[in-house]
Amino acid sequence: MVDVAQLAGVSSITVSRTLLTPELVTPATRRMVEKAIKQCGYIPNRVAGSLAANRSRTVAVIVPTISNSLFADTVQGITDLLEAHGYHVFLGTSNYDIKEEESLVSAFLERRADAMVLTGISHSPTTKKLLRNAGIPVVEMWNLTPRPIDMAIGFSNFEAARKMTLFLASRGYRKIGFLGGVTENNDRTRDRERGYLAALAELGIAAVENRIVRTPFDFPMGGTAIAALLSKSPSLDAVFAASDVLAIGAILECNRRGWPVPSKIAIAGMDDSPLGSQLSPKLTTVRIPRYGIGTVVGEHLIERLRGQASSKRIVDLGFEIVEREST
């Protein structure tokens, strides 16, 4: 660091400030220091630095999967916001397994992450204890709870599913099936199914188990699920899929079988995947602010990491019903 300071013509403290809090250094000075760092090939020892400053300038983010753009957009939003303030993101995938999430939380805490972002509100007791004892900012995203570990930022999966089911009913559909995910340890999927059932109760429509299929979220399973659903309940006139991945797979399967959508079966999804608007027919869905969730998570973390109290512990970013050709 002394060599970098001499080469840049600044003090060692200025070099340290440029590395740790670049927003506090003028752009001209920052450019000189960055140029000197490149010239001497200096790589900061973040482990030693975090021990000295009790700050690693890293934030850990745990998502269930990165196999589709659903969570990737949110991670991009978090990364864009945090990197603008000099923080870097550690990324882990739990594969919808709360024990794997627990292992990742422990590993990231060992690496002295300054803050933690989890997906959903279903966690093991050990995970909750570790995070409360760590004393770092924690955000649970993509769902809401009145009792977050620290902060919750997202939308109501229950209300989104309820409103979409009521929307289908408002278009004249009454025999509405449901394609959902596996509900164990997945609060988002569980709340979406609860929202569907709540809407049926409001409408005075009896819930029928053979109108529900639960399956992992991937395109082929959407096709398999719609075929199974219509085999069990051929009189259905609409299906609400708890994820666009399932809805898209279902539409593709209907197209292969020559089942016209929506005249034989209307199909709606949830998440507003970019692919949904390119299908034939285009997919009706629930639009969720995927990237926006990430930026708001980042904004709240920066507030807390600067020692400021967050304006809100629970932030509901809402959703929007987007009607297209499939209904």
Q: What pLDDT, in 10s, does the model give residues 24-52?
A: 899 999 999 999 988 887 776 655 555 55
Instruction: Report the sign of the C-alpha dihedral through residues 63, 68, 69, 70, in that order.
Output: negative
Q: Using one digit for the tens of pLDDT, what is the confidence trace for 203-249?
A: 999 999 999 999 998 899 999 999 999 999 999 999 999 999 999 99
CATH code for 157-287? 3.40.50.2300
The terminus-to-terminus CA distance of the chain in angstroms comes to 63
Tell me the C-alpha distance between 257 and 280, whole Å: 14
Same fold flag, 54-155+290-317 and 157-287:
yes
Helix (H) or strand (E) holding 230: helix 219-232
Could you identify the residue written with the tokens 């995203």?
141
CATH code for 2-44? 1.10.260.40
Tokens of 73: 């957009």
Q: Which of 104, 111, 94 is nearest to 127 (CA)?
A: 104
Collect all residues with Cβ–Cβ distance below 8 Å to 319 and sequence separation of at least 6.
155, 156, 159, 160, 163, 286, 287, 288, 289
Amino acid of residue 247: A
Tokens of 216: 């992992």
286-309 average pLDDT score: 95
Q: Could you tell me the pTM of the whole model?
A: 0.83
- The pLDDT value recorded for residue 184 is 87
Question: Domain 54-155+290-317 in CATH: superfamily?
Answer: Response regulator (3.40.50.2300)
What is the percent of the chain with per-residue pLDDT over 70, rounded to a whole number? 97
Q: Where do the domains of the chain lie?
A: 2-44, 54-155+290-317, 157-287
- The pLDDT value recorded for residue 309 is 82
